[in-house]
Amino acid sequence: MSTKYVYRFGKGKTDGDASMKELLGGKGSNLAEMSNLGIPVPAGFTISTEVCSAYYENDGKYEDAVKDQVAEGVEHIEEIMGAKFGDADNPLLLSVRSGAPASMPGMMDTVLNLGLNETTIQGIIKESNNERFGWDSYRRFVQMYGDVVMGMKPESKEEEDPFEIIIDKMKEDRGVENDTDLNADDLKELVTQFKDEIKKKTGQDFPTDPWEQLWGSVNAVFGSWNNQRALTYRKLNNIPAHWGTAVNVQAMVFGNMGDDCATGVAFTRDPATGEHEFYGEYLVNAQGEDVVAGIRTPQPVNEATRSDASQKTLQEIMPEPFAELEAIYKNLENHYTDMQDIEFTIQKGTLWMLQTRTGKRTAAAAVRIAVEMVGEGLIDKKTAVLRIEAEQLDQLLHPTFDPNADKKVITTGLPASPGAATGRIVFHADEAEEWSEKGEDVLLVRIETSPEDIGGMNVAKGILTARGGMTSHAAVVARGMGTCCVAGCGALKIDYKSKTMTVDGTVYKEGDWISLDGSKGEVIEGKVPTVQPELSGDFGKIMEWADEYRKIGVRTNADTPHDSTNARNFGAEGIGLCRTEHMFFEGDRIKAVREMILAEDEAGRRAALAKLLPYQREDFYGIFKAMHDLPVTIRTLDPPLHEFLPHEDESQQEMAKEMGITKEEVKAKVEALHEFNPMLGHRGCRLGITYPEITEMQARAIIEAACQLKKEGVNVLPEIMIPLIGTKAELTNQKTVVVEVAEKVQEEMGIKVDYLVGTMIEIPRAALTADLVAEEAQFFSFGTNDLTQMAFGYSRDDAGTFLKEYDKKNILPDDPFQTLDQEGVGQLIEIAIKKGRTTKPDLKIGICGEHGGDPRSVEFCHRVGMNYVSCSPFRVPIARLAAAQAAITNK
């Protein structure tokens, strides 16, 4: 027996099930599962993902077994649907759709109404008793097939689809406005013109043989696995290329045969808020793609989600199919124990389910659904914790618009994806990318978005569309990305040519600032101040559960009492990195810092440092107080001194004036401090070793503040961290300086405080010699930003030029500055942990690079046995959740 390549589904004869996602793709396995559950799905079959791999390996050729099994699959459909593929009287029409193991909505190609030709069209017309429907179906088929299979789709976004030009001309000739106003003859004429256009452009005749049509479409779907959109999407979503897509061939059912037909998409719960309410949209007399494309504004499916009385719900106009749909959705959610995203078509009063899948949702919805499902007994707490994508929480944590701010709302659309965004208007996805690269915050404004816009949508702070509903492309994609989106904003007139959008006569140009409130659907003029979000009780619940499971601590990187408090509210269990240099820039301090840098000798430096001491002490006092009872890790001065001097001509002049010296002297000092590679230069502990008086001042400020607070009854746990250690001797040197000062200060102030002296591990050599470094260090904290820079030999400031090229050429799976490179940098970390703990078995080890807030990196930190991660305040909840998930999945 040959390998099984084709898996049937529909009425009784179903070969697959939901567990076979890898082989049948998401869509195929779920169609089989629905079929197994007795839910009505149009009969069909799935060509497995193995065939996709073979297709690429064999240059688009198939084994005979595949051909045979596809033929058998078609017979299976014919049998169940009681129609015959290519038959003149009772023709079977088919759809051909992609279906990968991971959802890639809209990224690959689809062909509908397949099987039509000059012969079968007559059978369809006869059977539907609707000539216009017949020719419209044929017109759609030729257009889709022409685009997808025969390469008629324009390569550049600027060019218009040739078929749309023909349609527009026809409408003009006929003096009508909408496609729906064209009659059967017009559509018949369009079919002819379309075929002529294809012949003209490609030199090929449009195929009349249904089998040729079928294989052409199957090939096109497999081929679309590697189109640019799909590649981009896979990269963004970490989907491996070798998975491949399955192809689903299925009997067509029609939501557009007349007013007793409809088509719709729905979610078993509200995907934006998570509310436990069936939530969906439908269109009467339409094909499925019409709902998603956003050309006609869809209607709510049920009474509960209707927002105004003028809307006609499905519940109202087709109560019986709706009741059936309601039963099915409940069945599906219970069966899958997760919120489902479903598609359905009603053909002449009969309900057909076309798809079910786990629904994408906002972070807020994810949290609410998870907590409520635990309450409903559908899932347990562990599952609830695993259900929420840690990264997605970011959406909930970022500021919202200040409710008390003055806002000029210029118009309102659908609240398609929550969040608050302020940025400058751009009208094209590629411009969004260009502007964003230059550091601009942009909002992408489109009439509607399409899968081609994925890159621009990814970088935009927010998305605004004039057309489309809550399930439009823009809305679905934005929610997935956690990007704020206002959709279907009908009052917007967008002109791509002049790059303007007009609302009630007011014109907004490219580059103008606007703001979007994705939770309310508001479009606001200019910038709007933001405030901290209020976190829901459900959020608190999830965090509470996460903390039950997680094994490693979560600290924060914070340099001010304000940030410290903020992070503490988010659940931070201490400060893992307090950068002291940020404090050097405020107000008068920078003057003293510059005095120190300009000083000719140690005495001069000490005089300047003496001025800084009270400021630093005050800084630490505030931070220690805010973090009472929790450890606070303070890093001694890290950046090269030139960073504290002005590099612009004008600012040098200003500094000279302020310091009472000549500009030339300033210039000379800047030049003297110039380095070819400052990242590898005179910074970190190298400063403290050259100028021990700097470390002394900082140690004094820390210990004085700590002693003072202890006298006031506040519990302080300072941890002094020496940066950029590469050898044990460096740490010995700086530790000696710190301890001497600390002992002296405690004696002076007549009180003892507990403090630790530890080190960053951010130089490869420190990781490699961690056993020696640990002889001096009381704790380790991985500085993974620098460690990544040095392990890769990439300067973060410069790598942009070639990393872009690396991305295109698939040289790196991830940006190593975003997600820790476990394969390389990870080894240094594992070596350091192992060696460090060989010397001191209980050595406290954490991470304070930006990776500390990246869920995949947190998983790594858990796995290699760190004691804590430290990240920016807003990422603390993400890290808490990621740590819990790591603990659960690594059991």
Residues that bind its own copies (CB under 8 A): 675-682, 686, 689-690, 724, 726-727, 729-730, 733, 762-765, 768-769, 772, 786, 789-795, 797-799, 801-802, 805-806, 809-812, 821, 823-825, 827-828
Query: 37 exposed, middle or buried (CB, 10 Å; 0-12, 13-18, 19+)?
Result: middle
Q: Minimal distance in Å, beta carbon 805 to its own copies?
A: 5
**What's the CA gap between 116 and 94, in Å, rounded?**
9
**What's the CA gap between 783 and 766, in Å, rounded?**
11
Of residues 104, 66, 101, 32, the one with CA closest to residue 250: 32
First-to-last CA distance in the chain?
41
Place of tokens 């202890």: 710
Q: Which is nearer to its own copies, 336 or 792 (CB)?
A: 792
What single DSSP character describes residue 668? H
Q: Active-site residues: which are they?
A: 473, 848
Q: How far is CA 660 from CA 19, 653, 752, in A?
A: 77, 10, 43
Q: Radius of gyration over alpha carbons of the chain, in Å?
A: 32
Strand 442-446: give its sheet, edge to edge.
409-412, 522-525, 513-517, 420-426, 442-446, 462-465, 484-487, 414-417
Of residues 106, 117, 184, 187, the one with CA closest to residue 148: 106
**What's the CA gap between 773 and 839, in Å, rounded?**
9
Q: How many CB atoms lie within 10 A of CB 41?
A: 25
The H-or-E segment that residue 782 falls in is: strand 779-782
Beta strands 420-426 and 513-517 are antiparallel
Q: Minimal distance in Å, beta carbon 60 to its own copies?
A: 23
Q: How far is CA 408 from CA 66, 526, 691, 738, 826, in A?
A: 61, 8, 55, 55, 50
β partners of residue 691: none
**What's the CA gap between 887 and 553, in Å, rounded?**
12
What single DSSP character describes residue 761? E
Q: Minimal distance in Å, beta carbon 432 to its own copies?
A: 23
Cβ-based neighbours of 463, under 8 Å, separated by 6 or more: 416, 417, 443, 444, 445, 446, 449, 457, 474, 478, 483, 484, 485, 486, 487, 516
**What's the CA gap between 257 and 268, in Å, rounded?**
27
Q: Minimal distance in Å, beta carbon 681 to its own copies?
A: 4
Q: Which is nearer to its own copies, 216 or 688 (CB)?
A: 688
β partners of residue 503: 506
